[in-house]
Structure 1
Amino acid sequence: MRPRRQGAGDARAAAQEAVRAELRPGQSVELLKELHILTRDGLMNQDSRRKLKQVYHLYQFIEPLLQEVAADGHAPLLADHGAGKSYLGFILYDLFFKPLGRGEIVGIEWRAELVQRSRALAQQLSFARMRFLDMSVADAAQADLPGRFDVVTALHACDTATDDAIAFGLAKQARHMVLVPCCQAEAAAHLRRNKALQLARTPLAELWRHPIHTRELGSQITNVLRCLYLEASGYQVTVTELVGWEHSLKNELILARYTGQKKRSARERLQAIGEEFGLQDLLQTRYPA
């Protein structure tokens, strides 16, 4: 019996070592356990591994932006919208802000119980330069916050919360925005509302005649409008995949860097798409001139 117990112990130790090999250098194991990415035994299931891979992959895009912002001793200020359980915010702090020794992360989340949990965890881990606000993304621009933020993130902020994060970034003159949209429904609702009129007006309306096409096209158009709006507002925009499609269907990553060069052609195309698809009301609400 004793050799069997020893063998089981060796197998567990090997599994723990394999998990540690997947972590970033200096990554807090205690943090990952508190976020339930690791079990109390230091192991990881497939769902947690997928979640961690997404956050790590996003970190690869955000880290160079933070390094750029932190040059010359500047203290980076980052707003994490739709923070949820703050996986992204905590890992950004653990891997970048903590060793940097300066800068602050502000997590914005409307679910009060998640905000309280994040505050308690930040205190437990002595992550002193993290704070969390119990409010919607839409209300954050009017909150008592600094007038400028360096980086604005929104990881899987649902439906119009991504648009609210963009509005916040514009209001706070963000140098960078990192957005992973999720569950866009507003444009699809506008398409459904005007479907009969558009079917009579243009054959393009066949693109959203069937409900499933309405949903998918609405999602696609929403992200196209967001990119054009950012370009019209002075940002250089890059669109890429967050991770492989086998890991998540909500996989589009929008990176926006402020250049100050407002593209008139982007504004014109934004208006043209709105007119072609009958989305003028949406433009006035979400992407005003």
Structure 2
Amino acid sequence: MKAPQAKVAHGSRGPVPQGGAELPELRAGQSVGLLKELHILTRDGRLNQDSRRKLKQVQHLFQFIEPLLQELSEDGHSPTLADHGAGKSYLGFILYDLYFKALGRGHIYGIETRADLVERSRALAERLGFGRMSFLNLSVAESAQAGELPDHIDVVTALHACDTATDDAIAFGLLKRARAMVLVPCCQAEVAACLRQGKALQLARTPLAELWRHPLHTRELGSQITNVLRCLYLEASGYQVTVTELVGWEHSMKNELIIARYTGHKKRAAAERLRAILEEFGLEQALGVRFGLQGSSAAPAAI
């Protein structure tokens, strides 16, 4: 049986599922059937609190990605997008429904380590007729060398990719000469672990070590340093970087949104400050290679 189509309400309000109340969270023309398949909407077309939070995050992220796709779609170009840590592919399916479907060209690649979620997404895409979606059962790091992906990807996204998976997504974007990256980091523990290892020595060396003397502060400062290093690395690699909130803090504590657009202007000052921060916190040995400061270039290939 066909899923009921959404009616578009008059004015600025969102679509109305048949037999249900108005849902201002939905965009005009958005597929109610898809949202039911993703279990964002209940069978009777309603939202519970958890689903409303998920939908708000993805819809808000779409507002940042849509202008990038519009720019990349000019002159008949077919934009490509790789979504890392795709999970149930909420983001990929909603991007396809709201943008790629009407565009009639372009391709979305969902990259996910859990085989059951990959198979489920493949089946759903086939059922919905979303023919320009591919799902790969790979880690972010593995995807960089995967033959199923093209040599160039226009947009790289990573929504709540845990710990170093965000760094892997950045490395993927640099390798694939991405025109834009949209990242929401999550659960960053690596730098905090490095800070804990040298805590006693650092406390004796500098009063700044008080910033991470307490375990809670170590975790929070480690997360902050990680994202600062990522932003500097992107700037040193030729990207213009914007950092903002994804949604209100009441919806998610993992809320930092990093948007990077390739300009080709590689900031030398960013590379210098990146090096200085790694040295100041004793992180050169652990993180220098990842951020292009030991035996590798901080800049991507020409785009």
TM-score by length of 2: 0.89
- 1:214: which partner in 2? 218
- 2:26: which partner in 1? 23
Deviations 1:110-143 (A, max 9, x none): 0111101100100110100000000100111011
Runs of 4+ aligned structure 1 residues displaced above 4 Å come to: 12-15
More helix by share: 1
- 1:271: which partner in 2? 275
Return the alpha-carbon distance in structure 1 between the equivalents of residues 145 and 188 of structure 2: 24
- 1:165: which partner in 2? 169
Indicate if the aligned counterparts of 1:148 and 1:173 stay in contact, CA closer than 8 A.
yes
* Residue 83 of structure 1, CA deviation: 0.3
Return the alpha-carbon distance in structure 1 between the equivalents of residues 255 and 270 of structure 2: 24
Percent of aligned pairs with the same amino acid: 77
1:130 pairs with 2:133:
yes
- 1:174: which partner in 2? 178
Return the alpha-carbon distance in structure 1 between the equivalents of residues 65 and 82 of structure 2: 12
Return the alpha-carbon distance in structure 1 between the equivalents of residues 17 and 60 of structure 2: 27
1:255 pairs with 2:252:
no
Task: Give the letter for the 1:128 counterpart.
Answer: G
Q: What does 1:86-125 align with in structure 2 at a 5 Å threshold?
A: 86-125=89-128
User: Alignment length, in residue pairs?
Assistant: 277
Return the alpha-carbon distance in structure 1 between the equivalents of residues 195 and 17 of structure 2: 56
Indicate if the aligned counterparts of 2:17 and 2:45 stay in contact, CA closer than 8 A.
no
- 2:152: which partner in 1? 148
* Residue 13 of structure 1, CA deviation: 8.3
Aligned equivalent of 1:288, options 292, 296, 299:
292
Q: Secondary structure at the match of 2:159?
A: strand
* Residue 200 of structure 1, CA deviation: 1.2
Q: Secondary structure at the match of 2:21?
A: helix
- 2:187: which partner in 1? 183
Q: Secondary structure at the match of 1:102?
A: coil
Indicate if the aligned counterparts of 1:15 and 1:43 stay in contact, CA closer than 8 A.
no
* Residue 255 of structure 1, CA deviation: 0.3
Q: Secondary structure at the match of 2:266?
A: coil
Indicate if the aligned counterparts of 2:163 and 2:188 stay in contact, CA closer than 8 A.
yes
Aligned equivalent of 2:201, options 174, 188, 197:
197
1:43 pairs with 2:49:
no
* Residue 288 of structure 1, CA deviation: 1.6
Indicate if the aligned counterparts of 2:83 and 2:109 stay in contact, CA closer than 8 A.
yes
Indicate if the aligned counterparts of 2:278 and 2:288 stay in contact, CA closer than 8 A.
no
What are the ranges of 5 or more consecutive residues in structure 1 without an aligned counterpart? Answer: 1-11
Task: Give the letter for the 1:267 counterpart.
Answer: A
* Residue 282 of structure 1, CA deviation: 3.1
Return the alpha-carbon distance in structure 2 between the equivalents of residues 231 and 217 of structure 1: 21
Indicate if the aligned counterparts of 1:79 and 1:151 stay in contact, CA closer than 8 A.
yes
Return the alpha-carbon distance in structure 2 between the equivalents of residues 284 and 135 of structure 1: 26
Deviations 1:52-99 (A, max 9, x none): 011000000000000000000000000000001000000000000000
* Residue 265 of structure 1, CA deviation: 0.3
Q: What is the root-mean-square deviation of aligned Cα atoms in Å?
A: 1.4
Q: Structure 1 residues 13 and 237, CA, compared in 2 at 3 Å: closer, same or farther?
A: closer
Q: Secondary structure at the match of 1:257?
A: strand
Return the alpha-carbon distance in structure 1 between the equivalents of residues 158 and 17 of structure 2: 37
- 1:3: which partner in 2? none
What are the ranges of 5 or more consecutive residues in structure 2 without an aligned counterpart? Answer: 1-15, 294-303
Aligned equivalent of 2:61, options 40, 58, 61:
58
